[in-house]
A = this chain, B = another copy of it.
Amino acid sequence: MARIYNFSAGPAVLPVEALEAARDEMLDYNGSGMSVMEMSHRGKVYAAIHEEAKQNIRDLMGLTDDYEVIFVQGGASLQFAMIPMNFLGEGKVADYVDSGNWGAQAIKQARLIGQVNIVADCNKDIPTRMPREGECKWTPGAAYAHITSNETISGAQWKTLPKTEAPLVADMSSDILSRPFDIKDFAMVYAGAQKNLGTAGMALVVIRKDFAETGSKALPTMLKYSTFIEKDSLYNTPPCFSIYMLMQTTRWLKKFGLENIYKQNVEKAAKLYAAIDASAFYRGTAVKEFRSDMNVTFRLPTEELEATFCAEAKKVGLEGLKGHRSVGGIRASIYNAFPPAGVDALVAFMADFERKFG
């Protein structure tokens, strides 16, 4: 068995320790004689997994009692709809930042439900970026304000997260728990699990209880945040194995330490950006002050060279480097679990490739 260096944007590389635990416990979890996939979600064995998953999130984010940790199927994409369904009733307006593909997706779903105000639009800016300080024109009395903390496709990231008067909601799918942040500035943060939290098939939602309580009561049971809070994400059968993988991944992260992973993430990204900046052959696609620590995006002189770059990289075990189909170029996604040695390998490969093809 040879593991590759996996630069995939998501689903993405997971901690080897988490995968090894999943492997070793596959037919018999903790002496129960069952796989995690086979056990009742109402039983004691699963309950301990559910509790640890929530507690790890509470510990890593430093949550106070006024925040709830819930697990919702459907990924971030269903959250794009659930947020306005719950909080954007008639006569209300919600502020949205359009910072790229994912910000725009959230806006598209919100517009199907209610009135949306775009407070800043840098979606089409080249090089890509996030709004600058003072650029967002927040609406007084907005039902909520929505941002995307990291645009996975373009590779732009809020470096200083904004503070808003309205309840602030953040899609943190691609940089959650990659750095410390102050949850007190947010009414809700959410993230698809398949980048820094485990496996695809659910979203982690951290929501302040008093904000959740303002949600519409007239929705189907499975689309109300209040259901998940009241029933501890166990109204129906939860995605038990995804929650188990989140537990394993966050257990690993707690051991590593959030400050340590942040430091390592900054170092990994800095090495790649240094390699890009040291060469006229490679060209970064994000404004420097908004460069993402998670998704490092760059171009080569031609699309043909980019295709060759990906093909040659694959030959030496560096995979998943092709940029998103909507923008092209190269994207190196280097989430928490991506090893520093893989970044070194890519930096060496880039130098080698430039020598051969530059």
A interface, CB within 8 angstroms of B: 1-4, 6, 8-14, 16, 19-20, 22-23, 26-28, 32-35, 37-43, 73-78, 80-81, 85, 108-109, 112-113, 192, 194, 198-202, 218-223, 235-242, 245, 317, 319-320, 325
A34-B74 CB under 8 A given contacts A39-B8, A192-B237: no
Q: How far is the CA of A307 from the CA of B5 in the complex (A)?
A: 53
Q: Is the CB of B245 within 8 A of A3?
A: no
Q: How far is the CA of A239 from the CA of B78 in the complex (A)?
A: 13
Which residues from chain B contact A200 at a C-beta distance below 8 Å?
37, 41, 237-241
List 12 contacting pairs A-B, 8 Å CB cutoff, sorted by A.
Answer: A3-B34, A10-B40, A11-B41, A23-B23, A23-B26, A75-B236, A77-B222, A78-B222, A194-B237, A200-B237, A201-B239, A202-B239
A73-B201 CB under 8 A given contacts A3-B34, A33-B6, A241-B241: yes
Which residues from chain B contact A35 at a C-beta distance below 8 Å?
14, 19
A33-B4 CB under 8 A given contacts A22-B26, A73-B73, A222-B74: yes
Q: How far is the CA of A88 from the CA of B200 in the complex (A)?
A: 31
Which residues from chain B contact A235 at a C-beta distance below 8 Å?
77
Interface of A is mostly: loop
Which residues from chain B contact A80 at a C-beta distance below 8 Å?
220, 222
Which residues from chain B contact A37 at a C-beta distance below 8 Å?
11, 14, 19, 194, 198-200, 245
Closest 8 CB pairs of A and B: A201-B239, A81-B220, A4-B33, A77-B236, A23-B26, A73-B73, A37-B199, A1-B28
Q: How far is the CA of A23 from the CA of B24 in the complex (A)?
A: 7
Which residues from chain B contact A42 at a C-beta distance below 8 Å?
325
Most buried by B among A19, A109, A241: A241
How many Å from the CB of A237 to the closest CB on chain B?
5
Which residues from chain B contact A75 at a C-beta distance below 8 Å?
73, 236-237
Q: How far is the CA of A81 from the CA of B192 in the complex (A)?
A: 22
Q: How far is the CA of A116 from the CA of B215 in the complex (A)?
A: 26
Q: How far is the CA of A74 from the CA of B108 in the complex (A)?
A: 22
Using CB atoms, name the residue of chain B closest to A84: B220
Q: How far is the CA of A320 from the CA of B33 in the complex (A)?
A: 12
Q: Is the CB of A38 within 8 A of B14?
A: yes
Q: How far is the CA of A6 from the CA of B77 in the complex (A)?
A: 35
Which residues from chain B contact A2 at a C-beta distance below 8 Å?
28, 33
Q: Is the CB of B6 within 8 A of A16?
A: no
